[in-house]
Amino acid sequence: MPKLYRGAAVRAAEQAAMARFGLDEDDLMARAGLAAWRLLLDRWPQAQRIGIVCGPGNNGGDGYVLAELARSSGRHVFVLRLDDDVKAGAARRAADVYTQAGGEVATFVVEDGLPQADIWVDALFGIGLRRALEGAAADIVAALNRDRMSPVLSLDVPSGVDADSGHDHGLAVRATVTLSFIAGKPGLYTGRGREMAGEVTVDTLGLADHVFDDLEPAARLARADALPLWLQPRARSAHKGHFGTVLCIGGDHGFGGAIALCAEAAHRAGAGRVSAATRAEHVPVLLTRRPETMARAIASADELKPLLDAASVIAIGPGLGGSEWSAAMLYAALDAGKPLVLDADALNAMARRDAQALGDAVLTPHPGEAARLLGERVADLERDRILAVRQLAARYDCAVVLKGAGTVVMAPGEIPVIVDAGNPGMATGGMGDVLTGVIAGAIAQGWSNFDAAVCGALLHAAAGDAAAREGGERGLLPSDLFVHLRRLANPVMRA
């Protein structure tokens, strides 16, 4: 899983590389501009009119290098700059090379708008920007975003996006492709940054990985091709006892669908056995839908005890509700001394209690539930999702899956993992119930809570992407994931 680094770490790696390999800022800028030109040629080979918006710093300098390469190749290139002058140093030298060769530069005037271009290159601000855009910068970004006809290539990060957190302060360039230099940045993969960055590609500029040896990554990136790390073929001598028993608790009156989705997901994730404790009226539906589930009508905590004793892991929350029955089920599960996966109403109940260290558990909140658990506003939490998941993991001393755009998984002592999969079609009721069952099924098979959370979140998101490719995002249902869960849970097949 690739490592992602904060802006300060990338700058430290740049300094280490320059000292170790005898490079300077001009060398790195030349490499960045050339990498951008190569990518532009590869993605948009027919582009003849190339517009580049350049800021005053090194990101703008990268843009001027690209501008001169494109101009010298015979393209019609025009640079729009802000009112700010180009800073001294490598950026100034790159701008001078372009203008002295006859390159076209103009100051952006909001009343004039943007000239027509086959592609726009965003080289306004790089990883150093940590504040809201204002003035001419805000005007030019707004103009870029209004131009829906021309693709946009952002250099390093879309201008306006915080490279560390993904927060965009309400305005950032909406890129078609973002070319991230030296290393991936976490803000490109979670929160608003994930949407604004478009497709992300990384060019290391020829710098060796060991320039990061003494630097802590901010996160790791999990893509669908990482699933075989966990999902190895089973031994031919395996039997159901090797893969544990998942107990799904939930489905108060009127919420039987949630517990049915959770149970089926645990089956499809590979659990050896799955039982469900629910209200009596839901048992016939559960057995009709998935007869492999050992569904039981449970009216009290005393009736629940034999199921708790037999469970390897407990998934609680889907359709749990907020009744006295719900509270009794939750308290019994918390006292059972078994691994837990908590979602939905179980998380809401936890938010109303004093925070307690759960240890052997996985929490799976969406941003609203996470905000309640931390006592924050959702908008504040979404400013830095990685910080939020760290706080949750520390407060409850357990693994946490913060769902949303760029799901983030964290556990005490671990490096956060951002899931680079999933799509907007998954923003529908019941998807979280499926995720809860998948993670519980992974824990039942013997993985640590953190590994089960990462693998489960990735498997769930990849299944959602597969279902969306098959029929589209709008109208995607949680049950559409099941056939893909089974297929993706078996990525390494014997000949």
Q: Which amino acid is at 234?
A: R
Through-space distance between the first and last CA atoms of the chain, rounded to whole angstroms: 26
Closest CA to 318 of 333, 303, 306: 333
Question: From CA 404, how far away is CA 230, in angstroms rounded?
Answer: 23
CB-based contacts of 410-417 (< 8 A; 24+ apart in sequence): 410/386, 411/449, 411/450, 411/453, 414/450, 415/216, 415/217, 415/219, 415/220, 416/186, 416/218, 416/219, 416/220, 416/386, 416/389, 416/390, 417/1, 417/219, 417/220, 417/221, 417/222, 417/454
> Residue 284: how many CB atoms within 10 A of its CB?
12
Question: From CA 315, how far away is CA 330, in angstroms rounded?
Answer: 10
Question: From CA 213, how far away is CA 193, in angstroms rounded?
Answer: 26
Predicted pLDDT of residue 494: 46
177 and 119 Cβ atoms separated by less than 8 Å: no
Question: From CA 296, how far away is CA 458, in angstroms rounded?
Answer: 30
List of domains in the chain: 3-217 (3.40.50.10260), 225-488 (3.40.1190.20)
Which residues of the chain have a pLDDT value below 70?
Answer: 493-495
pTM above 0.85, yes or no: yes
The tokens of 316 are what?
Answer: 């609680």
pLDDT in tens, 369-401: 999 999 999 999 999 999 999 999 999 999 999
Predicted pLDDT of residue 357: 86
pLDDT in tens, 267-297: 999 999 999 999 999 999 999 999 999 999 9
